[in-house]
């Protein structure tokens, strides 16, 4: 159980790193796109987040459902944005900032809440 939790957490963090990585490398690019790593990272964070929540529910730990719910909504918005624009030649700076900013928001929520 502990091993599964740690494995899912590693994958969860790699998912987050993929989104943030794809976001940050484009900071200075004039033409911003949804890099495959961003979409795959969002899907990875979503799936592993649900798996981690399942493991927490099965354990005896406290599960903060409000926090999980908010993180879920945030990642769904990120995933929807990335999915919708995955083949676009370019995306607006606002869309790019929303994907990165909302992901950073989820990191802040995970750590501070």
Enumerate binding residues for ligand HEM (CB under 6 A): 5, 9, 12, 16, 19, 45-46, 49-50, 52-53, 56, 68, 71-72, 75, 78, 103, 106-107, 110-111
Residue 13 beta carbon to ligand HEM: minimum distance, rounded to whole angstroms: 6
Residue 45 beta carbon to ligand HEM: minimum distance, rounded to whole angstroms: 4
DSSP 29: -
Which residues make beta-bridge pairs with 91? 32
Nearer to ligand HEM, 21 or 31 (CB): 21
> Exposure pattern of 92-105 as b/e (b: 16+ CB <10 Å)?
eeebbebbbebbee
Comparing CA positions, the residue from 96, 43, 49 lying closest to residue 72 is 49
Question: CA-to-CA distance for 34 and 9, rounded, in angstroms?
Answer: 24
Nearer to ligand HEM, 39 or 78 (CB): 78
Residue 5 beta carbon to ligand HEM: minimum distance, rounded to whole angstroms: 6
Question: CA-to-CA distance for 17 and 13, rounded, in angstroms?
Answer: 6
Nearer to ligand HEM, 22 or 49 (CB): 49
Nearer to ligand HEM, 31 or 60 (CB): 60
Residue 30 beta carbon to ligand HEM: minimum distance, rounded to whole angstroms: 26
Question: CA-to-CA distance for 43 and 99, rounded, in angstroms?
Answer: 13
């Amino acid at each position: 159980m502990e091993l599964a939790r740690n494995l899912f957490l590693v994958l969860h963090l790699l998912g987050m790193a993929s989104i943030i990585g794809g976001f940050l490398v484009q900071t200075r690019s004039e033409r911003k796109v949804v890099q495959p790593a961003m979409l795959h990272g969002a899907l990875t964070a979503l799936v592993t987040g649900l798996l981690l929540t399942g493991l927490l529910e099965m354990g005896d730990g406290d599960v903060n459902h409000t926090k999980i719910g908010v993180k879920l909504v945030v990642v769904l918005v990120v995933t929807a944005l990335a999915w919708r624009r995955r083949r676009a030649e370019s995306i607006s700076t606002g869309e790019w900032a929303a994907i990165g900013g909302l992901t950073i928001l989820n990191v802040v929520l995970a750590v501070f809440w």
